Structure 1
């Protein structure tokens, strides 16, 4: 069994090595960092969405901004859109699960806000619909996906597509880059 454990760790390292060597992808991470800093400086918000494990990752990253990362500092306006279960179950029941995020963006989103969607396949209908609504509202969209970008590719202003088709490896890399963005945003925002 220890060989299997080592093999899985090596697969994770190999995916992250591909991320490390992908200069275009790292440039997008830098652009997203700068975008989030300017968004917060302008008094706007960052919203996150995802499904399943990606919802957990979205909530985690939102909490890094609204709570803290390294610095003891003021809260930043970031929120994961799936945390109100009464809302989610009502909209999913009364309308469609595909609309749960789009309706929240329709009600909460403002021009200059950012919507960050996490989907390993890039094909989550509820995130694609939310991205379309965000664009109508004048919001920027950031997609965290797997290698192809899926259907989110077309509606993402910034695409962070991990070079893998393996869901756990993609999610591990989403959190790696998400943490990097959180750290750099915190350093830049509170240093200026």
Structure 2
């Protein structure tokens, strides 16, 4: 039920979510019908986008998983990072690899989880190096750097990948739109794997990226199944 309080929301909210507000002479039933139609539309959008991503990247996801499995088998660790909503996704990636409901636990750390470190680096050195500095301090050759971005243009992401490449890490990036700066020639030789979700909707990009990294985890588990135990 759409309440009177909701109907009284500002035009800003009304402009973003018009289906929550009955039009002139409209009813709550009209608003519910519009909300349902909007939901169906968004479900169709993400289903179509996931099919497109599968067509674009399925083979390359398997290749990336094999590379990651090789690093893990040799004792490598996974470092994940991102900004804003992508920071939350980066934390989920690390959690998925480190504490799976099934399969082999793998060493993983998200570089946004320690608030003290993030704020210290941001305040003292600058936000553009908040990930690169952590990679410089923690990572070693044979590790993995995985970053998520919707725009593909965040300076701290670009810097982190360059630092990771210089230190011999496997570099994996997920981006939206057309890939942003992560897809430009300046990143040639910096990224081992780049998965672009071809959408201009931040919501749809992040939803599709969630699918990509869960499949990447599953494919990595498959690749590891018959490999040498980690750390040996």
- Aligned residue for 1:175? 210
1:93 maps to which residue? 123
CA-to-partner distance for each residue in 1:130-178, whole Å, 9 max, x for gaps? 0111111111211100141111222322101112121111111111011
TM-score (norm 2): 0.78
User: Contact between 1:115 and 1:131, CA under 8 Å: does it hold in 2?
Assistant: yes
Runs of 4+ in 1 over 4 A off after TM superposition: none
Give the total of aligned pairs.
188
* TM alignment of 1:27-38, pairs within 5 A: 27-38=59-70
Aligned counterparts of 1:187 and 1:35: Cα–Cα separation in 2: 12
Deviation (angstroms), 1:70:
2.4
Q: Aligned to 1:177, what secondary structure does the other structure show?
A: helix
Residue 107 (structure 2) aligned to one of 77, 85, 91:
77
RMSD: 1.3
TM-score, structure 1 normalization: 0.93
> Is 1:61 the equivalent of 2:96?
no
Higher radius of gyration, 1 or 2: 2
- Of 157, 173, 186 in structure 1, the residue corresponding to residue 221 of structure 2 is 186
Show CA shifts across 1:21-58 (max 9, x none): 22xx2222111100110010000111100011111111
Kindly indicate whether the alpha-carbon contact (under 8 Å) linking 1:48 and 1:116 is maintained by their aligned counterparts in 2. yes
- Deviation, structure 1 residue 76: 1.1
Q: Aligned partners of 1:144 and 1:76: how far apart in 2?
A: 20
Cα offset, 1:89, TM superposition: 0.5
The 2-side partners of 1:183 and 1:20 are apart by 15
- Structure 2: give runs of 5+ residues left out of the alignment: 1-34, 228-232
